Each structure stands twice: as structure tokens, then as C-alpha cells.
Chains A and B, each alone.
Chain A
């Protein structure tokens, strides 16, 4: 592990620990929901970097379509994969939080449904490319799908404002009456947002490194085939 990676990992570990301590211990329990509201910090903490990951897919896919440089396809793919993991966290912690607060695990409201659709689009983005045999078509189709998926993010975010939903209104950049009040609750939220953003960057760097190694392997394999003649 390089020095840069080690420092990044140490900072990530420390911030994640602080986020956990604030979320589970220091932040006061919610007046209405009690301790179960603490799910919120990692629930929201993971979706913001998830959205960031999807926006990177948009950026990388556009760069790929303009330049046709495969590095942008690889960088976007890794970002989409991590975004999918973060989106999975939101889609599983949400229902666990919903049961004690709403009385049901799932409601087919605009926010939950659009998040599920977003997850499905990125699931397809990450997995369907394996079924495209044509090497030249694969990154192009992926880029288009990635752009379509990322363009859904603003709709997912705005869905609680456009429609009447069971899901609460946005806390970050939300209305005056929505959101959390206690300073320690805010610290817990921003620490978990920071921790998950660091986690995203760390995983993305590792993933891109792997993708580049895979590309190098393909070249080595071709070189070997020429030399060994089979």
C-alpha cells in the first residue's frame, strides 16, 4: 500500500469511528422516534456519496462519448458499482427504519419507488455489459445507460417535493420546517457524510487500479498468444 493510500485509509478509519460514536452515542435520541432514529445518520450518509458516484458516472460517460478513451468507461464503471453498493445500503436500511416508525417495511411512494428504479438501472449498468460481446459497442451502450441512470438522480431527490410521499422531506437543503435541530445531530450527520465520501473515494481508487490491471492483463494475454501461437 502506498503512503497516500495508507494516509487515506487512516483518515477514513478515524472519521468513520467518530461518525459511529456521534451517531450511536453522542447525538441525543429523537424526541418522537427514540434511538431508532439513529439509523438516519448512516442511511442519509450513504446515499449522498451514492448520488455523487452516479454523477461521476454521468461525467465519465460524457467524457467517454466525446473522447472514446476507455479510461473514462473504466472510471465510470467503478463509480457506478460503488454507487450501487451505497444505494443498496439505503434500500435496506430504509425499510428497517420504516417498520418501527411507519408500521410497514415498504410503501410504494414516489421516493422509495424511484430509488428502487435507480438501483435497477445501475444494477443493469454494472451487470448487463457482460452480455455485450462487441468490445466497441459495450462502453458506448454502458455510457448511454449510465447517463440515463444519473439523470434520474435529481428526480429521486425532488420526488418528495413533487409528490405527496410517506418518506419525509429532504433534511439537507430542505424546507425550513424539515431537518434536525440539535447541533450534535448535525455533527453526526456531517461526519457520516464525510466518512462515506472518503470511503467512496478510497474504494473508487482501488477499483480503478484493478480495472487498469485488467486492461494490462488483456495486453499481456495478447502478447503471450502471439508468442505461444495458440
Chain B
């Protein structure tokens, strides 16, 4: 195998490793943001329902 071909193959490993880093970080950030959206929605819903009973959510 020629040296340039070996280098190119090795560059593929470099690209793969850095892609994996960003896929995993993005995946975790995605999970966090999805969880956040769900929580915000629930807080809004509960606050609205509590307000119907004349109760403030801070109390």
C-alpha cells in the first residue's frame, strides 16, 4: 500500500473519531433540551390548572 493511501486511510479514522465526539455531545444536548421542553410544558400546564383554583404556583 502506498504511503499516501495509508495516510488517507488514517485520516478517515481521525474524521471518524472527531465525528463520534460531536455526535455524542450533540446527542446529550438534544436529550437535555427535549427534557427541558417537556418540563416547561408541564410547568405551564400545572400553573394554569393551579391558577384555575386561585392558587399561585409560588405558594
Contacts and interface: CB of A to CB of B under 8 A. Distances in A.
Interface stretch (A139-147, A170-178, A217-225): A217-225
Contacts of A88: 24
A124 interface: no
Contacts of B49: 224, 228
The main secondary structure of chain A at its interface with chain B is: helix
A213 B32 CA distance: 13
A74 interface: no
Contacts of A199: 25
A211 to B, nearest CB: 10
Given A42-B18, A89-B20, A227-B55, A100 B28 contact: no
Given A46-B21, A223-B55, A96 B13 contact: yes
Contacts of A92: 17, 20, 24
A39 interface: yes
Given A214-B39, A217-B43, A223 B17 contact: no
A85 B21 contact: no
Contacts of A210: 32, 35-36, 39
Interface string A83-94: 001001100110
A97 interface: yes
14 contacts: A42-B17, A82-B28, A85-B28, A89-B21, A100-B10, A210-B39, A213-B39, A217-B42, A220-B46, A224-B46, A224-B49, A227-B50, A227-B55, A228-B53
